[in-house]
């Protein structure tokens, strides 16, 4: 996805936006690493399952389907992820899970929760500077307790005017958020790594967007980035620190 294939996508706006913009930041895989820990846990799970007939790729595809269903019923977060692993295990082994196997699967999930929250390169300094000029809000989805705990551990909480943990980040959610915080769409930008949850729904809600691609974005977040409407801006930046040139 380059500027060549999407001519309407801008790499550069000539001048920095004036002070007083509202910047909405995604959290996972935008401010700090997240998905790589899930990928490691899933790899360990597939290796533990060691299925006799299904290949690792087939197990992974099945898990994706199970996760999709679990999230629809129970939302995002580690509790849902645990449900998905257990359900996937039971479905592929055709047997109820034993207490010992359940405990083992729980450990794959716990391995994710145990990670330090490490801001991605340039995030801490960039955010600190942006917060001196603009109103910064954190807009994430998932389990509110888990997401707020990660923010507290990240050391970044002081830069945010407000924190919203939503069940889903769709266009209606962005419209509601813009109304709640009286955001002027002409001066409001959603910044994140996910086309599906950050970029496309924010554009659909009439906001501007900044796409910060992450090499290891979750498969359930994959979607083609749609073009902005007339008057809307869509920036694609290689690094978080590049935000300083634009805001």
Query: Residues 28, 123: contact at Cβ < 8 Å?
Result: no
Nearer to Mg ion, 46 or 195 (CB): 195
Radius of gyration of the chain (CA): 19
Nearest approach, Cβ of 235 to Mg ion (angstroms)? 16
Nearer to Mg ion, 218 or 247 (CB): 218
The DSSP bridge partners found for residue 94 are: none
Nearest approach, Cβ of 165 to Mg ion (angstroms)? 13
Nearer to Mg ion, 192 or 228 (CB): 192
Nearest approach, Cβ of 129 to Mg ion (angstroms)? 21
Q: What is the CB neighbour count within 10 angstroms for residue 94?
A: 6
Nearest approach, Cβ of 151 to Mg ion (angstroms)? 13
Q: Where do contacts with Mg ion occur on this chain (CB under 5 A)?
A: 26, 28-30, 193-194
Closest CA to 150 of 112, 99, 198: 112
Helix 78-93 and helix 35-49, axial crossing angle in degrees, nearest 10:
20
Nearer to Mg ion, 86 or 199 (CB): 199
Nearer to Mg ion, 39 or 90 (CB): 39
Nearer to Mg ion, 142 or 228 (CB): 142
Query: Residues 240, 125: contact at Cβ < 8 Å?
Result: no
E strand segments, 142-183:
162-166
Query: Residues 234, 8: contact at Cβ < 8 Å?
Result: yes
Question: What Å distances lie between residue 203 and 57, 65, 219, CA to CA?
Answer: 34, 27, 21
Task: Provide CB contacts within 8 A for 148, sequence distance 6+.
Answer: 163, 165
Nearest approach, Cβ of 182 to Mg ion (angstroms)? 25
Nearest approach, Cβ of 67 to Mg ion (angstroms)? 16
């Amino acid at each position: 996805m380059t500027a060549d294939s999407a001519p309407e996508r801008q790499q550069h706006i000539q001048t920095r936006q004036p002070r007083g913009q509202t910047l909405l930041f995604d959290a996972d895989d935008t401010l700090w690493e997240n998905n790589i820990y899930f990928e490691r846990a899933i790899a360990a799970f597939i290796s533990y399952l060691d299925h006799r007939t299904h290949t690792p790729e087939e197990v992974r595809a099945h898990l994706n389907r199970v996760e999709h269903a679990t999230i629809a019923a129970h939302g995002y977060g580690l509790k849902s992820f645990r449900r998905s692993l257990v359900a996937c295990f039971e479905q592929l082994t055709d047997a109820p899970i034993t207490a010992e196997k359940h405990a083992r699967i729980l450990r794959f999930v716990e391995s994710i929760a145990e990670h330090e929250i490490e801001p991605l390169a340039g995030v801490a300094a960039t955010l600190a500077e942006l917060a001196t000029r603009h109103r910064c809000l954190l807009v994430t989805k998932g389990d509110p307790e888990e997401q707020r705990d990660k923010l507290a551990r990240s050391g970044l909480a002081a830069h945010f005017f407000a924190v919203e943990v939503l069940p889903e980040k769709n266009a209606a959610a962005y419209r509601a958020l813009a109304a709640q915080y009286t955001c002027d769409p002409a001066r409001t930008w959603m910044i994140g790594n996910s086309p599906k949850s950050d970029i496309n729904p924010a554009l659909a809600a009439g906001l501007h967007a900044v796409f910060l691609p992450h090499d290891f974005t979750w498969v359930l977040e994959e979607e083609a980035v749609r073009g902005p409407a007339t008057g809307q801006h869509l920036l694609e930046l290689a690094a978080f620190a590049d935000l300083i040139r634009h805001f």
